Amino acid sequence: MNIEIIQQKLLEKVHIDHLRINEYMSKHTSFKIGGPADIMVLPATLEELRHALVTCKEYSIPYQIIGNGSNLLVRDKGIRGVVIKIAENFNAVKIEGNIVKAQAGILLSTLSKKIMEYALEGFEFASGIPGTLGGAVAMNAGAYGGEMKDVLRGAALMDDRGNVVYLDKDALELDYRNSIVLKKGYIVLEAEIALQPGDIKKVKEITDDLTYKRTSKQPLHLPSAGSTFKRPPGYFAGKLIEDSGLKGVRVGDAQVSDLHSGFIVNVGKATAEDVLNLVGLVQKVVRDKFGVDLHPEVRIIGEE
């Protein structure tokens, strides 16, 4: 891949301020880990996004779609090809009655505050999830008894040819940390959410309570990618890990959190190799002790 040629092609319709070359992914992940991406595009319009996709397809360039990198581990060698980051440049919100329409790049925490201002109930569960709306739709994100499928009406998506489609909730095939978005490689552009009229005081109380639960029980003071492993059927990953005697175990600067064993945290200058080696260690010990296979919830990308 000739980076200069791809750069010039992208700049035909992507504003120069929305393009980065050799951009370290550690700047774009909550883990604060990751080598450089050859090219990063931060689209602010559908046309910029479509042009980036079409260009990648035309030149057979591999690409990755990310949000704010809160559920992402990028390997130390970085990412070859193009990273398309849909985040702060793509975060408009419109609220009419009990219907919320928001672009995929808005943070769930920001959207939650906006929804609270309109005294709408039902989105409180998402207030502390550290990710974007697009990622939450794609993974059917959830917490404290709520999931995106409980409030979604549908979503506007873009396929790899730049075509836009709208799928209702049923067509999105929302499942535990999965959806048709991930299965088919769609990009979430906008989501439509239906909530219930409520009382702003009640909404705030619920949100504050959930915030306290998160801050007191989760290692939010250290870089991480949230829950490291998916919940195995019939178990809780964090309890299995703790009962295996792994709380606080380190590989380099990657550590099984001593506050919540379901999290692997970066306690200094952890590398992706540190994290992956620790993930492997945890998987082996839990499998040997309990016969349970743990599967990463964190998305792992980049050159091996």
> In b/e form, how buried is each residue of 1-19, taking b as 16+ CB within 10 angstroms?
eeeeebbebbeebbeeebb
Three-state DSSP class for 133? helix
Which residues make Cβ contacts (< 8 Å) with residue 228, sequence separation at least 6?
Answer: 237, 262, 263, 264, 279, 282, 296, 297, 298
Q: Which of 22, 29, 240, 207 is nearest to 135 (CA)?
A: 29
CA atoms within 13 A on the CB side of 249: 18
Residues involved in catalysis? 177, 227, 297
Task: Note whether 169 and 153 are within 8 A (CB).
Answer: yes
Three-state DSSP class for 260? coil
Q: Report residue 279 as tokens.
A: 């993930």
d(CA 232, CA 50): 37
d(CA 214, CA 260): 10
DSSP H or E stretch at residue 72 = strand 72-74
Task: Note whether 108 and 126 are within 8 A (CB).
Answer: yes
